[in-house]
């Protein structure tokens, strides 16, 4: 029995911890069965639940010096959680990926290689998950790749791939840009407008997806990463700058990005009471100064070798914010919400957000700390870091990337969108140039979702055999470039091995059809009944096109009528006259010979007088036997004494005549009461009444016998191969 669900496991090995994500989607072979035209033009629908995720700390990168411990001490708890969710019989068919991001990128190459090798070996030794290729399933991914996966996830959830006409941003563009910021790095990914895409074609990635109907979809996306520009790495750079600034003047360094009166170590640990002479930080709560001191970290003064550049001298095509609307995840969400955000906010409003940040950061630490429940160290940490993170985000967003400082309603007035799309955007806030998000339609926006969408799309067979390009991404060139990153999945032609006599396709059926056949099935299901009726009608007319076949059916019906009346021969005597009743009607319908010429009539015979001779039955020949009327195809036939229990349709086929049980073969042929079986099942004709009344010497001389060559029994079915004539 088939299983309609496919599963996937991916481990996001970040700098602060590793998070397990589990996704589920319907097998494309099943999803296509009852799919609507709209669904056929969409990507596979992935699902996840909150309980299908789990995060543990610290990150994989902390095992750089003790790689053998990463499996039992770190990964095993995540594996156990995955096994508690995924059905046992699906584990072997479930791919598992571990993809490390910024934290691992900071390790020396030798430690990266040792860790990824040990992780793959541990998973292969201790789990039954599908992991055929270590290099593909366990890797340290580039920031550009992480950004591209995030771009896929964002547009997947927002419908950027499925309904471009419903959210047209103008200038022939309908996808959304993606911004991500973690602890160690920040990413950007977007599809530039047509002018910029042509100008910077060599800087773009070519992404290939495949919708449920097997049609390819291609997108040209720019993506880049800024390693060291995540909030934690940026904070470390900021503290070093403070040390350089005040190195010769004080042991306590004034920090305008900390709430007033808060004292911490350089590493960020809160100092309750001063017990050391080590250099420390003391908060001043001056947010405007905090903005000024974090701005230089953007590296805007770095030389730009390929204009235009945004941050740290890295090239980025010009962003048209009338076209490119961005969503921001991770720190973009946590920093704009959490401490500062209102739960009912529909969009990011620069003026409102900046006012909230200033009000919070101007308060004393004692005032802030009094509102935090005792023992909630995590909340204290958030409050401690909130001001720096807010300043860094504002600088990156507006000074670095260049997002306009506008409010929600102003953004709507400038956005070039259709009326229906505008209403939808108002509800979600996606008509604004930037919106921080955590979930869309209840699903967390994570780059891991983008990776699994790509994998699921790779399971769909192409609609055309000429579509040779795989699902994945690589350099923006024709064909499949050398650096192409494959989806990690493979597809097989849909196969059908079901036992349904009607050829129906159920959720539990296997398949033996290609994609186009199944699409036709899904689209033309309503016409199946009509064509079935036409087929049966044509089959009926073809079967009765030959006169001898009509005679066989008539003979059987006539025999049944005589037996039911209890007077053998009565029906035939009556039929020879007026041809009344059912026999008369059947005669007119089936016999079709009003002139009373030669007719083959199937007589009641002694079927058990014959047995199977040597024969070599084949399925191919048996497939041609009729199952309803006891008639076999024209050709050599053998009848067994067991045939009476199986029906005449089970006659054995061989090259030879029926073999009688007795040795009186000629006598049985001459007997007027013997069974009449020709080479297609009836091998002997009944002699005419005139011949039977001749004297014996004339009968033996052949007087009155019709020619064998003229016999209707010599006619062959056009579906059967020529018979080997006996010599």
Angle at 82 between CA 77 and CA 84, to 5 degrees: 95
Report whether pLDDT(520) > 90. no
User: What share of the chain in percent tops pLDDT 70?
Assistant: 61
Long-range contact pairs involving 701-709 (C-beta distance under 8 Å, separation at least 24)? 706/598
Report whether pLDDT(406) > 80. no
User: Between residues 615 and 584, which one has the greater pLDDT?
Assistant: 584
Which pLDDT score, from 0 to 100, does residue 274 have? 65
Mean pLDDT of 221-235: 95
Backbone torsion region of residue 286, taken as left when φ is above 0, otherwise alpha when ψ lies between -120 and 50, otherwise beta: beta
User: In the 8-state DSSP scheme, what is residue 156?
Assistant: H
C-alpha 459/C-alpha 487 separation (Å) is 9
Report whether pLDDT(707) > 60. no
Which pLDDT score, from 0 to 100, does residue 557 have? 66
C-alpha 84/C-alpha 519 separation (Å) is 36
151-190: per-residue pLDDT in tens? 999 999 988 887 555 555 555 557 899 999 988 899 999 9
User: In the 8-state DSSP scheme, what is residue 495?
Assistant: B
Angle at 491 between CA 487 and CA 497, to 5 degrees: 160
User: Between residues 619 and 529, which one has the greater pLDDT?
Assistant: 529
Which pLDDT score, from 0 to 100, does residue 84 have? 97
C-alpha 631/C-alpha 544 separation (Å) is 12
User: Between residues 273 and 6, which one has the greater pLDDT?
Assistant: 6
Report whether pLDDT(577) > 70. no
CA atoms within 13 A on the CB side of 326: 26
Mean pLDDT of 265-277: 82
Give residue 237's pLDDT band: very low, low, confident or very high (50, 70, 90): very high
Which pLDDT score, from 0 to 100, does residue 718 have? 38
User: Between residues 379 and 533, which one has the greater pLDDT?
Assistant: 379
Model's pTM, two decimal places? 0.66
Q: Is 465 exposed, middle or buried (0-12, 13-18, 19+ CB in 10 A)?
A: exposed
Mean pLDDT of 336-350: 74
Which pLDDT score, from 0 to 100, does residue 273 have? 73
User: Between residues 587 and 273, which one has the greater pLDDT?
Assistant: 273
C-alpha 210/C-alpha 459 separation (Å) is 9
Which segment, 200-214, 611-625, 659-673, is predicted with the most confidence on average?
A: 200-214
Report whether pLDDT(521) > 60. no
Report whether pLDDT(46) > 90. yes
Mean pLDDT of 450-461: 95
Report whether pLDDT(43) > 80. yes
Compute CA distances 34 → 25, 496, 524, whole Å: 15, 16, 11
Q: Is the peptide bond before 725 cis (omega within 30 degrees of 0)?
A: no
Q: How many residues does the chain have?
A: 727
Give Cα 9 to chain centroid, integer Å: 15
Q: Is 146 labeled as catalytic in the residue annotation?
A: yes
Which pLDDT score, from 0 to 100, does residue 493 have? 54
User: Between residues 273 and 415, which one has the greater pLDDT?
Assistant: 273
C-alpha 433/C-alpha 128 separation (Å) is 45
Which pLDDT score, from 0 to 100, does residue 545 have? 62
**Which of 192, 188, 187, 213 minimizes the C-alpha distance to 202?**
192
Token pair, residue 263, equals 């004292």
Which pLDDT score, from 0 to 100, does residue 540 have? 66
Mean pLDDT of 205-213: 95
Alpha helices in 429-546, H assignment, sequence order: 447-457, 515-523, 528-543
Least confident range of 24-38, 86-100, 156-170, 711-725? 711-725
Give residue 284's pLDDT band: very low, low, confident or very high (50, 70, 90): very high
Residue 485, SS3 per DSSP: strand
Report whether pLDDT(541) > 80. no
Give residue 47's pLDDT band: very low, low, confident or very high (50, 70, 90): very high
User: Between residues 721 and 396, which one has the greater pLDDT?
Assistant: 396
C-alpha 601/C-alpha 551 separation (Å) is 6
Least confident range of 59-68, 442-451, 695-704? 695-704
Report whether pLDDT(578) > 80. no
Token pair, residue 509, equals 């059926």
User: What share of the chain in percent tops pLDDT 90?
Assistant: 48
229 contacts 312 by C-beta, under 8 angstroms: yes
351-372: per-residue pLDDT in tens? 889 999 999 999 999 999 999 9
Give Cα 97 to chain centroid, integer Å: 17
| Torsion (CA) 695, 699, 701, 703 in degrees, nearest 10 | 100
Which pLDDT score, from 0 to 100, does residue 231 have? 95
Token pair, residue 649, equals 């349709």
Fold of 1-141: Nucleotidyltransferase; domain 5 (3.30.420)
Give residue 603's pLDDT band: very low, low, confident or very high (50, 70, 90): very low
C-alpha 690/C-alpha 511 separation (Å) is 62
Which pLDDT score, from 0 to 100, does residue 708 have? 41
188 contacts 328 by C-beta, under 8 angstroms: no
**Which of 277, 312, 340, 317 minimizes the C-alpha distance to 396?**
312
Give Cα 129 to chain centroid, integer Å: 19
Q: Which residues contact 60 (CB under 8 A, 6 or more apart)?
A: 13, 18, 70, 74, 98, 100, 103, 104, 115, 119
Place of tokens 């035209």: 37
Mean pLDDT of 133-150: 95
Which pLDDT score, from 0 to 100, does residue 276 have? 65
Catalytic residue among 118, 144, 146, 444: 146
Residue 505, SS3 per DSSP: coil
Give residue 607's pLDDT band: very low, low, confident or very high (50, 70, 90): very low
C-alpha 515/C-alpha 232 separation (Å) is 49
C-alpha 218/C-alpha 470 separation (Å) is 11
* Phi and psi at residue 178, to the nearest 5°: -130, 130
Which pLDDT score, from 0 to 100, does residue 554 have? 60
C-alpha 311/C-alpha 251 separation (Å) is 33
Give residue 3's pLDDT band: very low, low, confident or very high (50, 70, 90): low
Q: Which residues contact 490 (CB under 8 A, 6 or more apart)?
A: 458, 459
Q: What is the DSSP string of 416-455?
A: ---HHHHHHHHHHTTTSSEEE-SEETTEE--HHHHHHHHH
Which pLDDT score, from 0 to 100, does residue 222 have? 98
User: Between residues 162 and 112, which one has the greater pLDDT?
Assistant: 112
- Please, what's the largest Cα pairwise distance for the chain? 146
User: Between residues 42 and 504, which one has the greater pLDDT?
Assistant: 42
C-alpha 413/C-alpha 409 separation (Å) is 6
407-422: per-residue pLDDT in tens? 534 443 343 333 343 3
Report whether pLDDT(496) > 60. no
Average model confidence (pLDDT) across the chain: 74
Give residue 246's pLDDT band: very low, low, confident or very high (50, 70, 90): confident
Three-state secondary structure of 220-232 = EEEEEEEECCCHH
User: Between residues 46 and 536, which one has the greater pLDDT?
Assistant: 46
238 contacts 292 by C-beta, under 8 angstroms: no
Q: What is the DSSP string of 574-633?
A: HHHTT--HHHHHHIIIII--TT-----------GGGEE--S----HHHHTTS-SSSS-PP
Domain residue spans in the chain?
Answer: 1-141, 493-520, 547-602, 604-727
466-479: per-residue pLDDT in tens? 667 899 999 999 88
Compute CA distances 223 → 61, 205, 577, whole Å: 24, 8, 95
């Amino acid at each position: 029995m088939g299983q309609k669900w496919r599963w996937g496991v991916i481990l996001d090995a970040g700098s602060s911890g590793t998070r397990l994500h589990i996704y589920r989607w319907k097998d494309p072979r099943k999803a296509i069965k009852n799919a609507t035209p709209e669904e056929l033009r969409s990507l596979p629908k992935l699902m996840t639940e909150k309980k299908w995720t789990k995060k543990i700390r610290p990150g994989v990168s902390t095992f750089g010096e003790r790689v053998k411990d990463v499996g039992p001490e770190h990964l095993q708890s995540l594996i156990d959680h995955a096994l508690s969710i995924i059905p046992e019989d699906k584990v072997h068919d479930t791919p598992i990926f571990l993809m490390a991001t910024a934290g691992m990128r900071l390790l020396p190459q030798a430690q990266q290689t040792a860790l990824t090798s040990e992780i793959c070996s541990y998973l292969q030794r201790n789990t039954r998950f599908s992991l055929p290729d270590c290099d593909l399933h366990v890797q340290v991914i580039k920031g550009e790749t992480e950004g591209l996966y995030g771009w896929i996830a964002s547009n997947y959830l927002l419908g950027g791939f499925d309904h471009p006409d419903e959210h047209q941003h103008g200038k022939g563009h309908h996808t959304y840009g993606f911004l991500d910021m973690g602890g160690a790095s920040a990413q950007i990914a977007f599809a530039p407008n047509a002018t910029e895409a042509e100008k910077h074609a060599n800087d773009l990635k070519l992404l290939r997806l495949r919708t449920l109907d097997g049609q390819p979809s291609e997108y040209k996306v720019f993506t880049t990463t800024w390693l060291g520009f995540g909030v934690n790495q940026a904070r470390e750079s900021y503290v070093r700058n403070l040390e350089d600034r005040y190195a010769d003047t004080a042991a306590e360094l004034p920090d305008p990005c900390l709430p007033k009166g808060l004292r911490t170590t350089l590493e960020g640990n809160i100092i309750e009471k001063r017990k050391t002479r080590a250099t420390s930080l003391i908060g001043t709560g001056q947010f405007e100064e905090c903005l000024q001191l974090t701005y230089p970290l953007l590296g805007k003064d770095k030389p730009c070798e390929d204009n235009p550049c945004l941050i740290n001298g890295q090239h980025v095509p010009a962003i048209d914010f009338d076209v490119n609307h961005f969503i921001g995840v991770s720190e973009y969400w946590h920093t704009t919400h959490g401490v500062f955000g209102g739960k009912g906010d529909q969009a990011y409003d620069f003026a409102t957000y900046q006012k909230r940040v200033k009000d919070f950061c101007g308060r004393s630490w004692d005032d802030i700390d009094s509102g935090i429940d005792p023992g909630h160290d995590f909340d204290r940490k958030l409050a401690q870091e909130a001001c720096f993170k807010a300043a860094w985000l504002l600088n990156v967003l507006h000074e670095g990337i260049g997002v306009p400082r506008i409010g929600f309603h102003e953004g709507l007035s400038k956005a070039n969108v259709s009326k229906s799309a505008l209403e939808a955007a108002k509800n979600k806030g996606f008509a604004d140039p930037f919106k921080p998000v955590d979930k869309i339609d209840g699903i967390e926006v994570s780059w891991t979702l983008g990776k699994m969408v790509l994998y699921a799309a790779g399971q769909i067979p192409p609609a055309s055999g000429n579509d040779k390009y795989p699902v994945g991404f690589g350099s923006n060139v024709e064909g499949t470039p050398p650096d192409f990153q494959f989806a990690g999945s493979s597809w097989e032609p849909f196969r059908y091995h079901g036992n349904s006599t009607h050829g129906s396709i159920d959720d539990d059926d296997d398949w033996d059809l290609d994609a186009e056949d199944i699409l036709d099935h899904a689209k033309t299901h309503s016409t199946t009944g009509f064509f079935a009726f036409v087929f049966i009608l044509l089959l009926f007319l073809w079967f009765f096109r030959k006169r001898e076949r009509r005679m066989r059916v008539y003979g059987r019906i006539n025999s049944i009528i005589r037996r039911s009346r209890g007077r053998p021969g009565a029906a035939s005597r009556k039929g020879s006259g007026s041809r009344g009743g059912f026999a008369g009607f059947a005669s007119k319908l089936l016999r079709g010979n009003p002139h009373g010429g030669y007719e083959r009539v199937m007589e009641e015979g002694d079927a058990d007088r014959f047995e199977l001779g040597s024969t070599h039955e084949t399925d191919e020949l048996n497939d041609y036997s009729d199952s309803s009327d006891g008639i076999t195809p024209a050709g050599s036939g053998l009848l067994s004494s067991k045939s009476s229990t199986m029906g005449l349709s089970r006659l054995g086929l061989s090259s030879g005549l029926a073999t009688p049980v007795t040795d009186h073969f000629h006598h049985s042929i001459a007997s007027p009461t013997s069974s009449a079986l020709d080479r297609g099942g009836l091998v002997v004709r009944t002699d005419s009444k005139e011949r039977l009344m001749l004297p014996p010497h004339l009968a033996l001389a052949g007087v009155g016998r019709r020619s064998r060559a003229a016999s209707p029994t010599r006619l062959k079915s056009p579906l059967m191969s020529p018979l080997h004539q006996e010599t």
